[in-house]
A and B are shown apart, each in its own frame.
Chain A
């Protein structure tokens, strides 16, 4: 591992993961669904998803969880994501602009863990996916 681990002592309540975009292009979703065996049309085909009542092809929930986990690891190399809890309030649509945010909302000195709020924002600024994570730092 070439990146330096983020240490618990270097983190403070309220610290943020820098906002970044999530790659939810349909082509990327397709790669994910092929690899995970989730080859349902609602994930891979905008037109088919619309026929099923969705606004467009839906990003699978576990892909959103994977995006959250990846953003945490980018922010804190060497960490362990011990728990990731997500709430899906509305469909996250492929081929849209999705921003990801994270912020430290609790710290446990003894366990060297932090709790984080996680949010995905859609183009309207709404949060179709929110979550929390328990992360053990070096």
Chain B
């Protein structure tokens, strides 16, 4: 199944898309997508309940977070109460080692995103801080990737032995579905997504929507 692992709604300060409009768009355009993940910036959205939209559109809608570390931005899947209390999601300089360790302790999974982008990407900090310990997966395909960012991410992920996922990083409705992750196994919950990410039966895909 295909999931878009990185999107933002109006819950994020720079997000302009309502979640129901993402669903309408996917249906209207007939996108080859089984679901998507909302990864709001610097917060955990514990309130929003998208089950009605899931039922109406036949999509899996999961929630995650995009937090900020000294190595750049990191997607965290499987956020729970334990993890919310482990560090301040609003902090823009959370140590990456803390995010990785606490995610692991709490049964979540952390994935540095747009890793080849300057400043907000993990690889851009390797010269200063050295390779990050404990990273297993990075977002090799990001829908907002410019220039050689995605190619560089694919190359560097291979070099460091990281697995890769894809996400659109959509902030507006029409940008969803540009990069996705194809999983070999069915996923029906955030727990199953975390389990899948811990394995290796998936791959990042870029989708030409033009």
Contact = CB atoms under 8 A, between A and B. Distances in A.
Interface of A: 13-14, 85, 87, 89-90, 103, 105-106, 115, 117, 119, 124, 126-128, 130-132
A87 B25 contact: no
Contact of B174 (A89, A117, A128): A117
A117 B173 contact: yes
A47 B200 CA distance: 49
Contacts of A89: 144, 146
A89 B173 CA distance: 17
Contacts of A106: 18, 21, 173
Interface of B: 14, 16-18, 21, 24-25, 28-29, 144, 146-147, 171-175
Nearest to A14: B28
A106 B144 CA distance: 22
Given A14-B28, A132-B16, A105 B147 contact: no
A124 B16 CA distance: 24
A32 to B, nearest CB: 25
A97 to B, nearest CB: 15
Across the A-B interface, the 10 shortest Cβ-Cβ residue pairs: A105-B173, A117-B174, A117-B172, A14-B28, A132-B16, A126-B146, A106-B21, A103-B174, A105-B21, A117-B173
A105 B172 contact: yes
A124 B174 contact: no
Nearest to A121: B210
A10 B135 CA distance: 51
Contacts of B28: 13-14
Contacts of A128: 146
